[in-house]
């Protein structure tokens, strides 16, 4: 029964991301669904990470005016990839989490640059603004990965208490 709390947590993450909290204090961007997918893949493995990534990706693609399918593909691959290497990540070494999320954020923004440059044209202003936003996006995700994973780790442990197998 406690497993439904993950659905409630996912709903809260979507509400927080789609409200004004998505742009925190001026121009510090962050991606709470990415951090949620990272945590689910880390705790439950590749299949759960893939499912969570596909669901969040589809919801983001439906609600975004950007290139359709980008979030679906990248979020699904992120969840699957993190779930696949979860045994190699030390869950109590928080520096790894910051570096992994920073690398994932930079990779996602680099991939997203292809349609932005293609559709927006290649100019100094577009490139400068995109690089500035990419830096702030990576910084915001790196700052929030620790609190989000700690909260979701507490949720994971709480759900695991109810799931006693004999």
CATH code for position 90: 1.10.1760.20
- At 28 the three-state DSSP class reads strand
Phi, psi of 3 (to 5 degrees): -60, -25
- How far is C-alpha 68 from the geometric centre of its chain's CA atoms? 18
Q: What is the pLDDT of residues 141-160, one digit of tens each?
A: 999 999 998 999 899 988 88
Residues of the chain with pLDDT under 50: 25-26
pLDDT in tens, 102-130: 999 999 999 888 877 777 667 777 788 88
> pTM for the full model?
0.86
User: According to the model, what pLDDT value does residue 37 have?
Assistant: 95
The residue segments making up the domain with residue 98 are 2-162
User: Looking at residue 151, what is its pLDDT?
Assistant: 92
- In this predicted structure, what is the pLDDT of residue 166? 55
Half-sphere exposure of 3 (CA within 13 A, CB side): 5
Domains: count for the chain? 1
């Amino acid at each position: 029964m406690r497993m439904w709390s993950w659905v409630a947590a996912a709903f809260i993450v979507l509400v927080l991301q789609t409200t004004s909290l998505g742009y925190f204090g001026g121009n510090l961007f962050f991606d709470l669904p990415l951090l949620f997918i990272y945590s689910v893949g880390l705790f439950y493995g590749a299949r759960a990470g893939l499912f969570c990534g596909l669901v969040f990706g589809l919801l983001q693609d439906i609600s975004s005016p950007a290139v359709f399918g980008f979030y679906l593909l990248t979020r699904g691959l992120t969840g699957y990839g993190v779930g696949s290497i979860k045994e190699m990540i030390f869950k109590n070494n928080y520096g790894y989490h910051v570096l992994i999320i920073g690398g994932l954020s930079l990779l996602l923004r680099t991939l997203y640059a292809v349609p932005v440059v293609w559709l927006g044209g290649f100019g100094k202003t577009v490139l400068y603004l995109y690089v500035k936003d990419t830096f702030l996006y990576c910084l915001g995700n790196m700052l929030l990965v620790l609190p989000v994973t700690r909260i979701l780790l507490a949720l994971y442990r709480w759900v695991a208490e109810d799931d006693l197998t004999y």
